[in-house]
Amino acid sequence: MSISLNENITYLKGVGPQKADLLASELGIKTYNDLLYYFPYRYLDRSKFYTINELNGEMSHVQIKAKVIHIETIGEKRKQRYVVTVNDGTGTTKLVWFKGIKWIKDIIKPNKEYIFFGKPTLFNQTINFTHPEIDDASKQKEKLSFNFQAFYNTSEKMKSRFLNSKAIHSLVLNLLPKVKDNITETLPSYLIKKQKLIYLNEAIYNIHLPLSQDLLQKAIFRLKFEELFYIQLKILRLKQYQKESVKGYFFKKVGQYFNSFYKNCIPFELTNAQKKVLREIRLDTNSGKQMNRLLQGDVGSGKTLVALMAMLLAIDNGFQACIMAPTEILANQHYETIRELVKPLGISVGILTGSTKQKARRLLHTDLLENKLNILIGTHALIEDAVKFAKLGMVVIDEQHRFGVAQRAKLWHKNKQPPHVLVMTATPIPRTLAMTLYGDLDVSVIDELPPGRKAIQTLHYYDSKRLRLFGFIKEQIKLGRQIYLVYPLIKESEALDYKDLEDGLESISRAFPPPEYSISVVHGKMKPIEKDKAMDLFVRKQTNIMIATTVIEVGVNVPNASVMVIESAERFGLSQLHQLRGRVGRGANQSYCILMTGNKLSLHGRKRIETMVNTNDGFEISEVDLKLRGPGDIEGTQQSGIPLDLKIANLGKDAQILSYARQIAENILDKDPKLETHENAMLRNQMEKKWKYEFNWSQIS
Ligand code: ADP
Ligand code: MG
């Protein structure tokens, strides 16, 4: 009998309308197929038992076999606890029940041996289990038809209605034998054979009901591979499509602007890395294809200069250029820097942000259309419909992680033909994530800092050392340096954070009184004009301390600032900490980053602080970040348009499988770019099925 995998889950034995509703609303499981692809998140090797003397509070769920030596009921009525002490010959541990006591009382008998399963926790110096599962040890043999027990995520709501992990597992057990022969393969057989993968039906079976450790590993590998493979195939196909069919403006020459800037306007020698990237950009813009390039470079590596020179290349060829920054402060700073740098060239530079006045705006609009303005610098305001260029040839997007694919695309539409696009990011992206998020872009890396920079020293201080911190700040100010002091700003509790900053400000003002010390304050609640004023005072060395929330995070450049103090550093993400640290170390002086935290740090919090203290390498930091947080939480990835809520693969942990899958996808597309051959029919088919809704955005031109 053939059963459709699209059958409604209601018809599965053990489900029914109510549970079907729950499965759909809580987990998105509506069909048989959805359930098959609802993979376990963990397995327990049921043949493995721990001894009590091996247990510690850091372990996840474990299994022990032990004898009941003591039973007692503690407390009255609603505060009642049922405590069972067990011993397995290596030690004793306590099992505690707060609920279902009546039921447990009936099951557990003194002096009998049971199998207990649960998470050991440390409480009052001893190991406890709360509400462990129980099995009769004597019945153990017959229960072990398979060794690995699968665990499924469920919600509290589901648990309260008896749809816990065990229940899901038994639904899967009902379903598997019914449909095993109806699971159709989704990878071509030549690929399966060549890569020594197991077939889909075998993989699905073993992912839920592993027959052995070996088969479980093979199942996991096959499913991860497939998931990553199709994403890479899609991205690479998109890249290929852009290369084939999207024409780019020809920048015929390197002209007078570029050359005279290079000769006369740069006060230093370009680093080799900067030169290399410029050569890459030159090749792209001289190829007849549209450039789509990601420029990765750690904070302070000199990306702005590269971007400016790319824009000069456009102007040399009669085109306009624009640069889009994520914040007004940053846009203003680019504006100041760039206007100053190109002054001798006689190039017109404009700025457009949310606070640009109507009148100035209108003037900009006409100048742009008449090609009187060469470079436009701004924020999101650049993508408004009213902004039209006469001949936009080069778009630079700074700090890409704040913009999504859709926004990138919007800038394309500003022309009949798409401009060249240079995307710059100072948040180093782990290779695996870059391959996925920016897989359609070519990547350049500036892997070298300008010479003469001293590595920033990073220190971790507990709050109790505040006086020492103040002393250090005073020393630095005496040396003529400036100080950043940053407080966290978390959206959900802006009021609270604001209070942090206010309190901080008060104590800092007391410790650093005028006239020796002067303080600028910048926070999210200020008007842009006020922010700029405060920033400006600091930039012009009128103030020596800048107290801020993370609005100064990106891009700000004050070379004389040598100390970055980050308050409640444990509340920041790694990439944010790294960004903030990048605000110092921009001049010739030794710089410091001081991370202030409370005494109590979570495991992840401690790891973040340690990572910061141990390395200045942005790529290394980003790898740790990805491992700690998972790709979905990395800033800016949500609007990327690439599915990151992967079912089984993990971009942080499966880097190797990802590279492997990408390599294979590349080989296939090299030989058969449009997937037209008979043996690739299945790939084409799957691509259309998987991405049918998303393929539109990829074909914007
Ligand atoms: P980021 O890559 O973080 O955007 P910037 O472009 O702001 O870095 O550059 C940081 C600082 O380094 C700026 O003051 C810039 O003028 C300077 N800089 C850039 N390139 C060089 C170089 N080749 N040699 C010396 N200093 C440089
Ligand atoms: Mg920058």
Q: What is the mean pLDDT of residues 251-271?
A: 93
Ligand 1: which atom is nearest the Cα of residue 305? 6
pLDDT digits (tens, 9 = 90+) for 11-20: 999 998 999 9
* CA-nearest residue, atom 25 of ligand 1: 450
* CA-nearest residue, atom 16 of ligand 1: 302
Ligand 1: centre distance to CA 315 (Å) = 22
Q: How far apart are CA 442 and CA 296, in angstroms?
A: 11
Is residue 434 predicted with pLDDT exceeding 80?
no
Is residue 579 predicted with pLDDT exceeding 90?
no
Give residue 638's pLDDT: 42
* Ligand 1 pocket mutation pick from 304, 323, 552 by most atoms within 8 angstroms of CB: 304
Ligand 1: which atom is nearest the Cα of residue 299? 3
Give residue 566's pLDDT: 95
Backbone φ, ψ for residue 69 (5° rounding): -110, -15
Give residue 207's pLDDT: 95
Ligand 1: which atom is nearest the Cα of residue 559? 14
- Fold agreement between 256-446 and 457-615: yes
For the CA of 273, the nearest ligand: 1
Please give the share of the chain, as a percent, with pLDDT higher than 70: 88
Q: Is the CB of 427 under 6 A from ligand 1?
A: no
Q: Is the CB of 297 under 6 A from ligand 1?
A: yes
For the CA of 299, the nearest ligand: 1
Highest mean pLDDT among 116-125, 291-300, 353-362 belongs to 353-362
Q: What's the whole-number average pLDDT of the chain? A: 86
Q: How far is CA 422 from CA 321, 333, 341, 419, in A?
A: 11, 19, 20, 10
Is residue 410 predicted with pLDDT exceeding 70?
no
Q: How far apart are CA 223 and CA 497, in angstroms?
A: 44
**Confidence at 52, pLDDT banded by 50, 70, 90:** very high
For the CA of 278, the nearest ligand: 1
The domain made up of 256-446 has a fold known as Rossmann fold (3.40.50)
* Ligand 1 pocket mutation pick from 272, 274, 305, 311 by most atoms within 8 angstroms of CB: 305
Give residue 564's pLDDT: 96
Give residue 22's pLDDT: 93
pLDDT digits (tens, 9 = 90+) for 606-622: 999 999 999 988 878 88
Give residue 496's pLDDT: 60
N-to-C CA span, the chain: 48
**Confidence at 249, pLDDT banded by 50, 70, 90:** very high
pLDDT digits (tens, 9 = 90+) for 300-352: 789 999 999 999 999 999 999 999 988 787 898 899 999 999 999 999 999 99
Single-letter code of the amino acid located at 311: M
Range with the poorest average pLDDT among 80-84, 90-94, 242-246:
242-246
* CA-nearest residue, atom 26 of ligand 1: 450
Q: How far apart are CA 647 and CA 40, in angstroms?
A: 10
Q: Is the CB of 448 under 6 A from ligand 1?
A: no
Ligand 2: centre distance to CA 555 (Å) = 5
Give residue 395's pLDDT: 93
Ligand 2: centre distance to CA 469 (Å) = 29
The strand pairing partners of 122, in sequence order, are 127
**Confidence at 256, pLDDT banded by 50, 70, 90:** very high
Q: Is the CB of 20 under 6 A from ligand 1?
A: no
pLDDT digits (tens, 9 = 90+) for 101-127: 888 888 899 999 999 988 898 887 888
Q: How far apart are CA 314 and CA 251, in angstroms?
A: 7
Q: Is the CB of 425 under 6 A from ligand 1?
A: no
Ligand 1: centre distance to CA 306 (Å) = 9
For the CA of 308, the nearest ligand: 1
Ligand 1: centre distance to CA 301 (Å) = 6
Ligand 1: which atom is nearest the Cα of residue 452? 25
Q: How far apart are CA 42 and CA 8, in angstroms?
A: 26
Q: Is the CB of 446 under 6 A from ligand 1?
A: no
Homologous superfamily (CATH) for 47-145: Nucleic acid-binding proteins (2.40.50.140)
Core vs surface per residue 489-502: b (16+ CB within 10 A) or e = beeeeeeebbebbe
Ligand 1: centre distance to CA 457 (Å) = 20
Ligand 1: centre distance to CA 303 (Å) = 7
Q: Which of 425, 413, 427, 397 is nearest to 324 (CA)?
A: 397
Highest mean pLDDT among 224-233, 493-502, 636-645 belongs to 224-233
- Axis crossing angle, helix 655-671 with helix 213-245, rounded to the nearest 10: 50
Q: How far is CA 62 from CA 57, 84, 119, 271, in A?
A: 11, 17, 6, 55
Give residue 573's pLDDT: 87
Ligand 1: which atom is nearest the Cα of residue 297? 2
- For every residue of 408-443, DSSP letters joined together read HHHHHTTSSSPPEEEEEESS---HHHHHHHSTTSEE
Give residue 694's pLDDT: 46
Is residue 404 predicted with pLDDT exceeding 70?
no
CA atoms within 13 A on the CB side of 312: 25
* CA-nearest residue, atom 18 of ligand 1: 302
Q: How far apart are CA 211 and CA 215, in angstroms?
A: 6
Ligand 1: centre distance to CA 251 (Å) = 26
Ligand 1: centre distance to CA 65 (Å) = 64
Q: Which CATH number fits domain 457-615: 3.40.50.720, 3.40.50.1820, 3.50.50.60, 3.40.50.300?
A: 3.40.50.300
For the CA of 451, the nearest ligand: 1
Ligand 1: centre distance to CA 11 (Å) = 64
For the CA of 306, the nearest ligand: 1
Is residue 201 predicted with pLDDT exceeding 80?
yes
Q: Which of 306, 238, 552, 250 is nearest to 445 (CA)?
A: 306
Is residue 227 predicted with pLDDT exceeding 60?
yes
Q: Is the CB of 578 under 6 A from ligand 1?
A: no
Q: How far is CA 209 from CA 145, 147, 218, in A?
A: 10, 9, 13
Ligand 1: centre distance to CA 329 (Å) = 18
Ligand 2: centre distance to CA 245 (Å) = 32
Q: Residue 515, preceding bond cis, omega within 30 degrees?
A: yes
Delimit the domains of the chain by residue range: 47-145, 256-446, 457-615
Ligand 2: centre distance to CA 235 (Å) = 27
Q: Is the CB of 265 under 6 A from ligand 1?
A: no
Q: Is the CB of 583 under 6 A from ligand 1?
A: no
Q: Is the CB of 393 under 6 A from ligand 1?
A: no
Q: What is the mean pLDDT of residues 479-504?
A: 75
The strand pairing partners of 594, in sequence order, are 459, 565
Give residue 698's pLDDT: 38
Record the tokens describing residue 654, joined without a space. Answer: 């499966």
Ligand 1: centre distance to CA 343 (Å) = 18
Q: How far apart are CA 443 and CA 459, in angstroms?
A: 33
